[in-house]
Structure 1
Amino acid sequence: MKVVLFVTILWYSGLFFQTFFLHRYAAHQVFTMSKLSERVCFVLTWLCQGSNYLSAYGYGVMHRMHHAYADTEKDPHSPKYDKNLLAMMWRTKNTYQDINKKRVEVDAKFTKNVPQWERFDAFASSRISRLTWAALYTTFFAVFATAWWQWLLLPIAFLMAPIHGVIINWFAHIYGYVNFKVSDTSKNLLPFDFLMMGEGYHNNHHKHGGRANFGVRWHEIDITYCIMVVLEKVGVIKIKRA
């Protein structure tokens, strides 16, 4: 079962840096940290996301646009304006790449203070980097897979970050429950979000975009926020209290 453990580690480690660094720091800046810590997070995001690496700049800008234009034609990803899940994924990919490679002009309000490390992003996003990670994943499966069905997990390893995005940007706008009336279709997926480490409290987040803790009700435990509290206590970050 080493393969299952490996994919589980990839799932949660990649997800943590997506929600902690790309989402809460790059897009919303709900906490501060030193420039050195920021650079360490760039590298750790690459190590944990591997072939799925997402740039803090591309992600941060696109996510700010999502909040500004949620469920409108300008939303980079919305079930209301994409005919199916795959169509949304493809449009999201194209929008992200256009922003990250600066092929489109973006309003300054979406780019303000978004962290950038262009030379590292160019390396981490390169075809060589992604193919190397894919080869390493495949080699691990070849060595440790003990049953045919475990190979079905390999595409998940290749596409972990897009899958994380689909769960929130598609399913959390269709299924779940609502705590707050907002101008979009955002919903909370799970009463206790063990799957997405707090990202699943999407309705709460759309109501309080600048809040570090995505949980609101007593049972809505935000695992990422709990880790952030520990990181603050040891002096790595400083959480902004709304």
Structure 2
Amino acid sequence: MIIIIFFIAHWYLSLFTQTFFLHRYAAHQMFTMNKHWEKVFYVLTAIFQGSSYLSPRGYGIMHRLHHAYADTENDPHSPKYSENMFDMMWKTKTIYCDILHDRIKLDPKFIKNVPDWPLMDKLADRWFIRIAWGVLYTLFYIQFANAWWMFLLLPIHFLMGPIHGAIINWFAHKFGYVNFKVNDTAKNLLPLDFLMMGESYHNNHHKFGGRANFGIKWFELDLTYPIILLFNALGIIKMKKNNDLNYM
């Protein structure tokens, strides 16, 4: 039971930092926060993603490229130009690393206002830090796992961030339903998104790229959105006035 709780906690904490901080804040600037809170969420991302840490700057820029060039040859991760999900993940990794290490020239519009903390990125991205996280996960399993099959979950811990991205960038461009006609293959993967905290409403998001609530229909519950509203009420973030909070 301890292992299952640990796995679920890691899944949702890692996913929350990715959808809230990397996706909705770093890439889309759906709300603002001051530099203090920006650094707090930077640190939380490093802790919750652990061995699979994704730089908010690198992710934000790459995701902007995805929206600008969705399902074209310039898309960092399109199933249309990959043989399988693992091929797409490898291409995504290559482009992400090129962005992170400034190996490609980018239009300034893709970089504008993206959060940037070079010291944290440099520290969290080091291989010995990633390996150390992996060792901690493994030691936890050795201590508490009471069945051999539980160790099969360890690779998911190691690659949690990229796995979350692959679920949406592969499956949500192949399977699901659409609410809106868009210029790409984005679909809503799950009618009730208990698994991806709103991320699987991909068709909705591609239609309304700046909207903080990814759910549109009455049954499309975006689990991240109530947290955003809470943070806004507490003054941790500030919703932008042009973000239509009441659109249904």
| Superposition TM-score tier, normalisation by shorter sequence | over 0.9
Aligned residue number for residue 157 of structure 2: 157
Identity of aligned residues (%): 62
Count of equivalent residues: 242
1:168 lines up with 2:168 in the alignment: yes
Runs of 4+ in 1 over 6 A off after TM superposition: none
Aligned residue number for residue 49 of structure 1: 49
Residues 59-138 of structure 1: pairs in structure 2 closer than 5 A: 59-138=59-138
What is the one-letter code of the residue matched to 1:52?
A: S
User: Equivalents in 1 of 2:195, 2:120: separation in Å?
Assistant: 30
User: Equivalents in 2 of 1:226, 1:97: separation in Å?
Assistant: 33
- What are the superposed Cα offsets for residues 139-198 of structure 1, whole Å, 9 maximum, x if unpaired? 000000000010010111111111101110000000000000000000001111100000
Aligned residue number for residue 238 of structure 2: 238
Helix, strand or coil: the match of 1:165? helix
User: Equivalents in 2 of 1:104, 1:119: separation in Å?
Assistant: 21
TM-score by length of 2: 0.97
Aligned residue number for residue 13 of structure 2: 13
Q: CA RMSD in A?
A: 0.6
User: Equivalents in 2 of 1:95, 1:3: separation in Å?
Assistant: 34
Shift of 1:50: 0.2
Shift of 1:235: 1.1
What is the one-letter code of the residue matched to 1:49?
A: Q
Specify every segment of 5 or more residues in structure 1 that has no aligned partner in the other structure, as ranges. Answer: none
What is the one-letter code of the residue matched to 1:104?
A: I
Specify every segment of 5 or more residues in structure 2 that has no aligned partner in the other structure, as ranges. Answer: none
User: Equivalents in 1 of 2:161, 2:213: separation in Å?
Assistant: 22
